[in-house]
Chain A
């Protein structure tokens, strides 16, 4: 299981990354995260929705209600231009962290 702090920190980039592939709604997002992480990331609804709303307040996403073919009511979220820029910023930061860790954890190159 992933620690709470790390989950919290990664929610935003993960959400934006999912939405950049197309608009989506809460329930489906949770399913997607679970799927992609192979079950290691399991988000709770009480955590997801407040974050989505915060992203919306910040202008990174917009939402609208839509009715599915089955007649179900769903609130879809869509990434905005601002959201894309934010994701870009997040990505470079995460990549920095990632690269640093990779370099640190690589077996040291043999020195003759």
Chain B
């Protein structure tokens, strides 16, 4: 049986082999051939005869090819014959060239796609950098898989936790008794505040000071650049300084052997070590010999429970079974301090915490669970993925919406003999071009916003971070994926058009895929609304925490920060009375700490019950005015009194938690009891107040009047003439402490800094939410313009029939409004579940704020309306005469 179409296809393939013939040429020749066949058929021939006759009247493929070739050079086939633009284009395969042309031709549409993808890829890139930085913290050591921190698991009636501070003799014991341990280092934090460091005329406050035993340099990869490795950290009162510290204090001089004064202690510099990188938690700019600390303080001696003091880092030998080793060391506290622990009713166990997981995980006895940092890492990774999904959705959406416009092209190309696979390759090529153009722009965008992002996310990257293979490869792979993922559906959709159908114009523009587009827009807005609600939740929780009663008054409390403890041990009353001369200062107190700042622990026990009840608890030293300055009520007994001489050093006040910690059921029961063997009477109990932000629970606390440890003067000041008050304070300080630097701060500001993480994360979240919403709106904008264009005629007719501009705008907006409202149905449960999960991380959390959900929905709707509104109004205000003449 003769199959005409098959014969024509065969003839076409013969022609395609002739290199000088293009698709268009062949299509034209085919059209010619079909005319001839039709004419032959009209005169009564059957298909085969008509085909043969038509063919015989036409030239052979070879002859055609030859003729076309003659004119070919004039048609710009040679690369060299035209300008550089075509030379460049010639380097691309044909379909890429087509894709570029298309992008240039459809500027608005390409702009939307490229903009969305650029922003999407850039957001992803930034999150990727954030993830790379966060996961790199403390993981860069050569033997990181063998390095562990030995944590202390504590369980008692008051609860359980795992702390970093461990028994002082743990490190030496591990090294002596366990062959599995290669090195074991002791590390101590030195103070909570930056410490004064003085060398000759140079004096600065330094934050990165730690004390450590010699093994620190062997457990971690800290290079000793100068000095004797055998001597480093070995002797008391010696110190290692990082390169940058050496430069800062000694300039070009040789620091070795010099004496530097650190926190009022003279230390000999015995070595220079490499600078700590940004991605370490152990900021070793100045490393004191731990012996100075450990040997000077009595309570650091021996296996004493209740003192969490020294961090222990170990490097195990290669091939050690970690689980087995952990089992072996787990009960060391019971072995060495079993008696004391039993009396206290406390269980202590050793747990191994891998160094590489220390930063992102919180340790529990059983395992490591994700910390807030890891939660944020997951959240931002998820957001990055969502943003990309949004950008891809835009692409798919617009590509299918515009499919009608391309249907004819597909039809012609198919009729001209293009295979479906060729078309798929072409469309994929186009989306890949868009994706890679966006990648290039995204890299620029990343470079521009990187400094701001580093500040926002609190990460610090060296310039090479962008060149790191992981980053480059991931971004490239991501782009490839985006290009393919977003191009595939349109490619399959478009290439499936049947030429016979589309060329006859039977395909109604845009009717196909309406449902898909609606689903995509709904999904986009569902994602955006979820993010908006998330942003509002974070802001709400931070505001809620700030607004919570803390148990003390933090506003209008001005604090002078002294360089070190005890500077006013003798004359604090004089300082206070001098300050109080100013009418703006309503009350003043000298103390060792103020809420929001670091606070020591001290070991206390009810008289005679050292073994049973002894424990280290937060220990504040403050004079008798402290509770009055901070408005902390006394619930039982009395506050310290100036008139009672023995109150200084000889009395103490507990908070309610403190009374409970020692086993006294009520505040009244605690009053009159005595502590330690001296003994010191408990004279009063104050109401619990938050020393730290609301993420942390209130801890047991003991307060004593101990002027030798006073370091701050806190003042209640009136709001009137604050600058005048501060000037007065400075004058008094400068007069009484000549040569000292005046430092002051407000309690509320310092306190709120504890919410810095939440505030920062909230800000980051807001940025990314904005990006997501922006992309969703770009898509909506494109779609709205497309729909408005499609309905031009309808709008024209409606107007001609008397519809007003608001009627038309309403008509056009109604549909989008429905979509956005539908999106809420998906977004609300999602936001609720995620939000509840996030709120669980806070000790004090706000009730689920349903108002925020409506606010989020309203915001999304408003933004959507604004986006669509422009298009609607433009379409609605068009003159119907023009719109009806159009087409």
B874: shortest Cβ distance to chain A, in Å? Answer: 30
A83 to B512, CA, bound (A): 42
> A73–B59 contact, CB under 8 A?
no
> B503–A45 contact, CB under 8 A?
no
Known contacts A44-B59, A46-B67, A72 near B500 by CB under 8 Å = no
A53 to B68, CA, bound (A): 9
Q: Mark B283-314, 1 if CB is under 8 A from A, else 0.
A: 00000000000000000000000000000000
Please give the number of chain B residues whose Cβ is less than 8 angstroms from any Cβ of chain A in the complex.
Answer: 28
A30: shortest Cβ distance to chain B, in Å? Answer: 8
Closest to B416 in A: A73
> A46–B64 contact, CB under 8 A?
yes
Count class of interface residues, chain A: 20 to 34
> B28–A75 contact, CB under 8 A?
yes
> A49–B35 contact, CB under 8 A?
no
B505: shortest Cβ distance to chain A, in Å? Answer: 7
Closest to B68 in A: A50
A52: shortest Cβ distance to chain B, in Å? Answer: 9
The main secondary structure of chain B at its interface with chain A is helix
> B28–A50 contact, CB under 8 A?
no
Contacts of A49 in B (CB 8 A): 25, 28-29, 32, 67-68
- Is B27 an interface position by the 8 A CB rule? yes
A74 to B36, CA, bound (A): 13
Partner of B67, one of A47, A65, A75: A47
The main secondary structure of chain A at its interface with chain B is helix
A10 to B500, CA, bound (A): 38
- Is B31 an interface position by the 8 A CB rule? yes
Considering only residues 494-521 of chain B, those with a C-beta below 8 Å from chain A are 500, 503-505
> A46–B31 contact, CB under 8 A?
no
Closest to B505 in A: A67
Q: Mark A36-57, 1 if CB is under 8 A from B, else 0.
A: 0000000011110111011001
> B31–A71 contact, CB under 8 A?
no
Considering only residues 393-414 of chain B, those with a C-beta below 8 Å from chain A are 408, 412
Closest to B38 in A: A72
A60: shortest Cβ distance to chain B, in Å? Answer: 13
> B29–A72 contact, CB under 8 A?
no
Closest to B28 in A: A75
A46 to B36, CA, bound (A): 14
A57 to B24, CA, bound (A): 14
> B58–A45 contact, CB under 8 A?
yes
> B74–A57 contact, CB under 8 A?
yes
Contacts of B678 in A (CB 8 A): none
B366: shortest Cβ distance to chain A, in Å? Answer: 72
Partner of B71, one of A27, A53, A74: A53
Partner of A26, one of B31, B38, B70, B75: B31
A47 to B59, CA, bound (A): 9
A51 to B32, CA, bound (A): 15
> A71–B28 contact, CB under 8 A?
no
A32: shortest Cβ distance to chain B, in Å? Answer: 13
> A45–B71 contact, CB under 8 A?
no
Considering only residues 62-76 of chain B, those with a C-beta below 8 Å from chain A are 63-64, 67-68, 70-71, 74-75
> B31–A73 contact, CB under 8 A?
yes
Known contacts A53-B75, A54-B74, A71-B500, A27 near B27 by CB under 8 Å = no
> A75–B63 contact, CB under 8 A?
no
A88 to B32, CA, bound (A): 29
A71 to B501, CA, bound (A): 10
- Is B154 an interface position by the 8 A CB rule? no
Partner of A75, one of B31, B59, B71, B505: B31
A36 to B68, CA, bound (A): 26
Closest to B500 in A: A71
A112 to B36, CA, bound (A): 60
Q: Mark B28-68, 1 if CB is under 8 A from A, else 0.
A: 11011011101000000000000000000011000110011
A71 to B415, CA, bound (A): 12
Closest to B415 in A: A73
| Residues on B facing A (Cβ under 8 Å) | 24-25, 27-29, 31-32, 34-36, 38, 58-59, 63-64, 67-68, 70-71, 74-75, 408, 412, 415, 500, 503-505
Cβ contacts A to B, 17 pairs, < 8 Å: A27-B36, A45-B29, A45-B58, A47-B67, A49-B25, A49-B67, A50-B67, A53-B68, A57-B74, A65-B412, A67-B504, A72-B34, A72-B38, A73-B503, A75-B24, A75-B27, A75-B28
| Residues on A facing B (Cβ under 8 Å) | 25-28, 44-47, 49-51, 53-54, 57, 65, 67, 71-75
